[in-house]
Each structure stands twice: as structure tokens, then as C-alpha cells.
A = this chain, B = another copy of it.
Amino acid sequence: MEWISKSNILIVGLGLIGGSYARALKHLGYHIFAIDAKQSSIDYALQNDIIDGGFSYVDEDCVSSADAVIFSLYPGVFKTWIRENQRLFRPGAMLTDVTGVKSSVVYDIQAMLRPDVEYIPAHPMAGREVYGVENSDGQIFKNANYIVTPTDKNTPEAVEWCKCLGRLLGCRRISVLTPEEHDEMIGFVSQLTHCIAIALMTCNDNRHLVDYTGDSFRDLTRISRINDEMWSELFLCNKDALLRQMDLFADEFAVLRALLEADDREGLREKMRLSTERRAYFD
């Protein structure tokens, strides 16, 4: 095995997404190593040929021989890892991540990072309602959006490298946004929708309705099966943007309620026509 080469990629955090990166990139011929606190995840990945090598601790040789490091950790753990282990990076190493929130992560990490390595942040918008490397899937990125969120500290080369990584994964659309644009967008299209699904599921002990639910209820609540440890952290990391989006939605919902209470049929129809017209853009 050519341990020292341009193609040594280290994945830190071998869960659903980290494992899916491993599968997709190994399939393309890269040498993939992984570090994950769970020995069972490393064992599974080795047994299933998802990685070429792995450790349940921070193996110094493994980190220092990586040309690129992909972090698939929760925001807080990610920062701690960088603080404690960045001395091990090979000079010139390229770092990226998969974190679903950006402003609260990107600036802190870039501020503390050694000047001879570069961290270019990214977010592949892919996920499942299942977890762990056991459920990872190299095809998960096939219809996903992939967003690179550089700051002033990033070089054009790193942005290109990161976009290229998204293309290698097979993502459908590669975009570049600022961390703030990303967080506002993700607050709306992902976090707000999860809040709605949770509230719909918890507002009423609806289990006796299971026999009457059609597709619409099931569609709206599919994402209410949620990893509470991860999502509570993501919500809090994006608190301001998410609160703004929640307020926008709650205000509009109250308007709809007022139209109904006032028997304002034309007002209701106007809202329905607007939603119909807008939704058409998404098909």
C-alpha cells in the first residue's frame, strides 16, 4: 500500500455520512483511512472493505500521512478535535468537513488553525433517517446538493479542490455560498421543516390516528424521526437564523388561521393560489 501519496484521505468520524464518503471515494481508487471513537465502526468498515485502515484513537502516523482530511463530526467535537490534534497535520494538508451549520463552526476553526494547512468548509445536503457506518451508502450523494462555504481566508485553489470533491462524490449540483447565506438557507429548507415535523408529531397524541393517515401526514412527519443529539446541537448552533425562520412561518400560519376564523374564503383562496404557484417551481 502506498501510504504516502497524493491520494491518502483520512475521514474523522465514521458515521452515516463519513462512511458514505469512504465508500464513494474508495470506489474511485483513493486510499481511505478513518478515525472513529467506536472500535465497532472501524471493525465494520474494515470487514466490509469500506476503508483501508482505521483507528479508534488519534493515531499520529495516520493523521500526519493524510493529504486530505474530511471531518464528519458534530460541531463541538469537531472544534475540540482540531484544537487538540492539529499539530499532527502534514504541512499543506487540505481539510474539509460535512457540517450542517457553518457560521458557528467555520470562523472559529479557521481562527485557531495552523497557517500551513487550509480548511475549506463544505456541506453535502444528504442524509437518511438511519445512522452509523452500517447504513452508509456511496450512492447517497447522487441527487444531493453540495455547498462550499469559503471565507476570505480560503484560496481559490481550495475552493476548486472542494468543488471537485463534490463532483467526485457524484453530487447533482455544486454551489458556493457564504457561511451566512448557507445558514439562512439551511434554517429555512431543513431546520424549519424539521421543527414543523416535530411539532406536528408532538402536539397531539396521535398514535390512535395511525389507521387514518394518508400520504400527506406521513410525508410531513417522515423527518420527525430525528437524531436528537445531532439535531439539538445543529439547531442551537444556528439559533438566530432558525428563530428568524420559525417566526416567519409562525406569523404566516397565524395569518392563515385568522382568515379561516373570519370566514374569509377569498383570502384563503389567495394564499392557496400563491402556494400552488410557488410550489410549481419546485417540480
- Identical chains bound together, number: 2
Interface residue? A111 (CB, 8 A) = no
B251-A203 in contact (CB<8A):
yes
Specify which chain B residues have a CB less than 8 angstroms from the CB of A242 in the assembled complex.
Answer: 260
Specify which chain B residues have a CB less than 8 angstroms from the CB of A263 in the assembled complex.
Answer: 236, 239
With most chain B CB atoms within 10 A of its CB, the pick from A196, A222, A276, A279 is: A279
Chain A interface mostly: helix
B220-A252 in contact (CB<8A):
no
Question: A246 touches which one: B147, B207, B217, B253 (CB < 8 A)?
Answer: B253
A232-B185 in contact (CB<8A):
no
B222-A268 in contact (CB<8A):
no
B272-A203 in contact (CB<8A):
no
The answer to whether residues A209 and B196 also contact, given A203-B252, A214-B125, A224-B276 and a CB cut-off of 8 A, is no
Interface residue? A142 (CB, 8 A) = no
| Nearest-CB residue, chain B, relative to A274 | B202
A177-229 interface with B by 8 A CB criterion: 185-186, 188-190, 192-207, 209-214, 216-229
> Which A residues have a C-beta under 8 Å from some C-beta of B?
125-127, 144-145, 147, 173, 175, 185-186, 188-190, 192-207, 209-214, 216-229, 231-233, 235-236, 239, 242-243, 245-257, 260-261, 263, 265, 268-269, 271-276, 278-282
